[in-house]
């Protein structure tokens, strides 16, 4: 019985993974449309799908900026949002900034010189101030949005 359950679970994993990938467009979806080469203008538009037909996509730009019509042949890529990237990806970028405050703190705390209490306190405050900069850099930056491409409507004939 356990072997049968394991086989059923193993066979259902691909369908569960495929169910997690969204490959259709629905009116009202927020999408990013990348148009083929456009000379001198931006070629990426973000908005909501206002209407969808076999050969055209109508995109409503946010804050009542307008409505754009795209022919399917002019669209290079359509993508739907899939959350944001992790803030922890920035940690590797600011990791070298942690070295100086940590080294300063360890040398101050291991100092055994007489009358060093005031020196030690000032050093700890300076270390905390130096640590605040990389920590703020990690959490202040808003991560970029992740986009998953949608192929079914674009590739339909």
pLDDT band at 13; cut points 50, 70, 90: low
CATH architecture of the domain 2-83+147-155 equals Roll (2.30)
Contact 82, 64 (CB under 8 A): no
Question: Residues 6 or more apart from 113 whose CB is under 8 A from it?
Answer: 119
Per-residue pLDDT reduced to its tens digit, 17-42: 444 555 678 888 899 998 877 676 77
Q: Does 14 or 96 have the greater pLDDT score?
A: 96
Per-residue pLDDT tens digits for 65-82? 889 998 888 888 898 888
Q: Per-residue confidence at 110, pLDDT binned at 50, 70, 90? A: low
In the chain, where are the structural domains located? 2-83+147-155, 87-140
């Amino acid at each position: 019985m356990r072997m049968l359950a394991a086989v059923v679970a193993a066979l259902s994993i691909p369908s569960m993974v495929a169910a997690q990938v969204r490959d259709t467009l629905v009116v009202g979806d927020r999408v990013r449309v990348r148009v083929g080469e456009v000379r001198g203008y931006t070629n990426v538009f973000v908005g909501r799908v206002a209407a969808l037909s076999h050969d055209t996509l109508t995109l409503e730009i946010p804050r009542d900026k307008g409505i754009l019509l795209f022919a399917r042949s002019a669209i290079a890529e359509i993508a739907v949002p899939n959350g944001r990237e992790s803030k922890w990806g920035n940690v590797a970028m600011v990791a070298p900034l942690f070295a100086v405050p940590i080294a300063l703190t360890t040398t101050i705390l291991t100092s055994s010189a007489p009358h060093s209490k005031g020196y030690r306190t000032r050093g700890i405050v300076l270390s905390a101030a130096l640590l605040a900069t990389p920590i703020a850099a990690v959490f202040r930056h808003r991560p970029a949005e992740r986009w998953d491409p949608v192929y079914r409507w674009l590739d339909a004939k």
